[in-house]
Amino acid sequence: MIELRDIRKAFGPKQVLDGVDLKVETGESLVIIGGSGTGKSITIKCILGLVQPDSGTILLDGQDITKADRDAFLARFGMLFQGGALFDSMPVWQNIAFRLLRGPGRLPRAEARALAIEKLARVGLGPETADLYPAELSGGMQKRAGLARAIAADPEIIFFDEPTAGLDPIMAGVINRLIRDIVDEMGVTAITITHDMTTVRDVAHRVAMLHGGKIRWCGPVDAVETADDPYLDQFIHGRAEGPIATLR
């Protein structure tokens, strides 16, 4: 279980997170929604230690993450970045097998390559993709390769940062289905950040809305449409009128 208690983070005068409290149960798929610049990405970067919160506590299975062994902690995670964040300087298979080729539990090169090709197949990419460089892939293929890298070491927890951003609706649907299947098959705990309500409906067990630096609303995905919250209502229906200012 991941638990965030009163997480605060400011960048200069801008208070991005202003007391975020959130729990994600093991095996649960939580989707965080919210407008641009509301701190969704910062929230998961705080969990991963990529950004240090100003105050608050983050617990993983009841243990404060700042006291955990960093490598062992990170080995439990996989992350799909918004732009893929594939390493330009190496072919796709080495991107996917990056963790498997390094560190104490590293695999022989041939074995790591075979495993990378297996993960590529899992996300619908053929073995011919393995030796291409990231710059030679389309946006959708980069997302899939990023997803293959995120699941390569069979993590217990996966974060998806805007998994469908910049994709056409069909490819977005393919990625959403892949995420849902992977989460179900692997039984992982997942946190997804998105603006895309199709992603919310496809992958979420539970939804949390971040607004004003706090979790504004949190509940099961089935309750999103019927929730009595004007902020959530405005966001999910994409209305310009409502309590959320459109000029931020």
182 neighbors 211 (Cβ within 8 angstroms): no
Q: Which residues pair with 210 in a beta bridge?
A: 215
First to last CA, the chain: 34
CB of 180 to another protein, least distance (A): 22
Q: Which residue has the tokens 């990231």?
A: 134
Among 10, 59, 68, 85, interactor with another protein by CB under 8 A: 85
* Nearest residue (CB) to another protein, 35 versus 78: 78
Q: Which is nearer to another protein, 113 or 216 (CB)?
A: 113
The yes or no reply on residue 103 touching another protein (CB under 8 A) is yes
**What residues pair up with 223 in beta bridges, in sequence order?**
none
Tell me whether residue 144 or residue 211 sits nearer to another protein (CB atom).
144
- Of residues 61 through 80, those in contact with another protein by CB under 8 A are 70-71, 74-75, 77-79
Alpha-carbon span 41 to 146, nearest angstrom: 17
From the CB of 229, what's the least distance to another protein, in Å? 32
- d(C-alpha 122, C-alpha 110), whole Å: 18
Residue number with CB closer to another protein (93 or 98): 98
- CA dist 19 and 52 (Å) reads 14
Among 22, 42, 60, 86, which residue sits at the site for another protein (rule: CB under 8 A)? 86
Candidates 14-22, 45-53, 56-64, 108-116: pick the segment binding another protein (CB under 8 A).
45-53
Binding mask 127-166 for another protein (x = CB under 8 A): ----------------------x-----------------
Beta strands 2-11 and 55-60, pairing class: antiparallel
Report the 10 Å Cβ neighbour count for 13: 5
Please select the residue that binds another protein; options are 11, 50, 66, 230, rule is CB under 8 A.
Answer: 50
Which residue lies nearer to another protein by CB, 79 or 200?
Answer: 79
Query: Minimum distance from CB of 175 to another protein (Å)?
Result: 18
Cα distances (angstroms) measured from residue 77 to each of 1, 4, 210, 233: 13, 16, 22, 32
For residues 16 and 207, which CB has a smaller minimum distance to another protein in the complex? Answer: 16
What sign does the dihedral 24-199-78-117 (CA atoms) show? Answer: positive
Q: Compute the least distance from the CB of residue 82 to another protein, in Å.
A: 7
Are 215 and 22 in contact by the 8 Å Cβ rule? The answer is yes
Distance CA 4, CA 37 (A): 19
Binding residue for another protein (CB under 8 A) from 6, 82, 122, 139? 82
- DSSP E strands in 70-213: the ranges are 77-80, 157-161, 189-193, 206-211
Which residues of the shown chain bind another protein in the complex (CB under 8 A)?
Answer: 45, 48-50, 70-71, 74-75, 77-79, 81-83, 85-89, 98-99, 102-103, 149
